[in-house]
Structure 1
Amino acid sequence: MNIAFIAHDKKKDDLVRFTIAYEGVLKSHTLYSTGTTGFRIMEETSLNLHRYKSGPLGGDQQIGAMIAENKMDLVIFFKDPLTAQPHEPDISALIRLCDVYSIPLATNMATAEVLLSGLKRGEFKWREILKEKNRNEN
């Protein structure tokens, strides 16, 4: 599965700790991230991530493009709800795309843990069914 990681500045430490805890589950998947978030994860784990630009420079939109092309299966985005973000419209667009394309999205550690627990149990087979359906329609 293709999994994206994004974290606001005040949530990057939490996301790094989360990926350390779930490194065993994540290592068998293709991982993507915005720039600084991916750098921090790779610094602290043995995970390899494809890094896009930082969020404010368009990284959120690059991940959004993958969602729109049905090339992303899961998004883990640790948002900071207490700090205004200058690129808030991009964040809203990314969340909207996840809803439009039925991409599971975790915006906090509790939800991310539920999603990765399900991933570990193999409960995301429906993503493969949707991908196959889309391939057949195009």
Structure 2
Amino acid sequence: MLLGLAANRLHHQTEDGALFALLRACEPGIRELQLGLHVVGRTCDAIAAAEMLKGYKGLVRYPYGRDGGLMKLVAEVVGMPGEGRTLDGAIYLTDPVDPSSIFPEALALKRQCVIHGKPFLSTVASARDWVEMERIHAGLAPDRSADRFHDFGHQTVALIAHDAMKPAMLDFAARNFELLSRFQRRVGTGTTGQKLNELAWSKGWPADRPWVDRFNSGPLGGDAQIADLVLERRCQRAIFFEDPHVARQHEADIQLLERAVTTITHEAVCATSPAVAQRWCDAAVRRAGS
């Protein structure tokens, strides 16, 4: 398995930076999985200076971002035919106030991950959770330091889908209804929330109780309302099925939710495609039974 790796300067300019926190937590799992990492220049230099992943042969240095390093990762998410350069996803720890986080190559990296159903991991929590899930799929014993990401009875999950992705969200919720019902609370925006409630009632959920607490529709500020929950540490996981092919009038609200997730990088987990979310669910069920 092969991932791209990049981190904005904020996350590696001090010893307690998010990049180093991620590697300290996940280095054993990275080595167990023999995870290949294509690392953009400055991020790779910071890892070497911190003497992390020492001697690890799976780490490959790419050019600096200004020299096209991030652009190369975008091409590899799509896949380079005949060259053996296809990424299975990307870790990109973004700084929500760094202008480079909205450069075309940064936006394209996420968009191509979503289009191709690959993980785009923009927070420490998302990356840590993903490594643990891949460990479970590989048949390894649960890492007890990751238990906090699976304390669903004390967590809230946001279930959000753009118009074209609403059928996929309903199918996902139907297939994973038992697991999603373990969360203390589920929240959603407008129409998606109503459709999910109707699904739950059809499955025997008490008719006098909503399965999903509904906020406004996206265009009327629902994304912003859920972003506030995230910032207040009252929503720990977002499953956000995005439609990357359609321009949206409320794009700013969508970006607001994404920025909220990256602002609390150590705590918020986000999945942005049905394939990635389903792989997480499958692993979560296996982990709970181990």
Asked whether the two chains share a fold, i.e. TM above 0.5, the reply is: yes
Q: Does 1:45 align with 2:208?
A: no
Residue 57 of structure 1 deviates from its aligned partner by 0.2
Q: Which position in structure 1 is the counterpart of 2:180? A: 26
Name the amino acid aligned to 1:107: T
Query: What SS is found at the alignment partner of 1:4?
Result: strand
- 1:107 is aligned to 272
Q: Residue 13 in 1 paired to residue 154 in 2?
A: no
Query: Could you tell me which of 64, 67, 79 is aligned with 2:230?
Result: 67
Q: How many residues align?
A: 122
Residue 5 of structure 1, CA deviation: 0.8
* Paired-residue identity, %: 34
Q: What is the TM-score of this pair, normalised by structure 1?
A: 0.82
1:114 offset after TM fit, Å? 2.9
Closer/same/farther in 2, CA of residues 17 and 83 from structure 1, 3 Å limit: same
Please tell me the residue identity of whatever aligns with 2:182.
Answer: S
The answer to which structure, 1 or 2, has the higher relative contact order (CA under 8 A, 6+ apart) is 1
After superposition, what is the alpha-carbon deviation per residue over 1:21-80, rounded to whole angstroms, capped at 9, x for unaligned? 000101121100001101011112246110000011010000000001011110011111
1:80 corresponds to: 243
CA distance in structure 2 between the aligned counterparts of 1:20 and 1:43, rounded to whole angstroms: 11
Deviation string, structure 1 residues 62-107 (Cα, Å, up to 9, x no partner): 0000001011110011111001000101111111211121311111
Cα shift at 1:116: 2.6
Cα distance in 2 for residues equivalent to 1:40 and 1:19: 10
Larger radius of gyration: 2
| Equivalent position amino acid for 2:187 in 1 | Y
In structure 2, what is the Cα distance between the partners aligned to 1:119 and 1:101?
22
* 2:219 equivalent among 56, 67, 70: 56
Gap regions ≥5 residues in structure 2: 1-154, 206-210
- The CA deviation at 1:13 is 0.5
- Match among 86, 89, 95 for residue 252 of structure 2: 89
DSSP 3-state at the match of 2:240:
strand
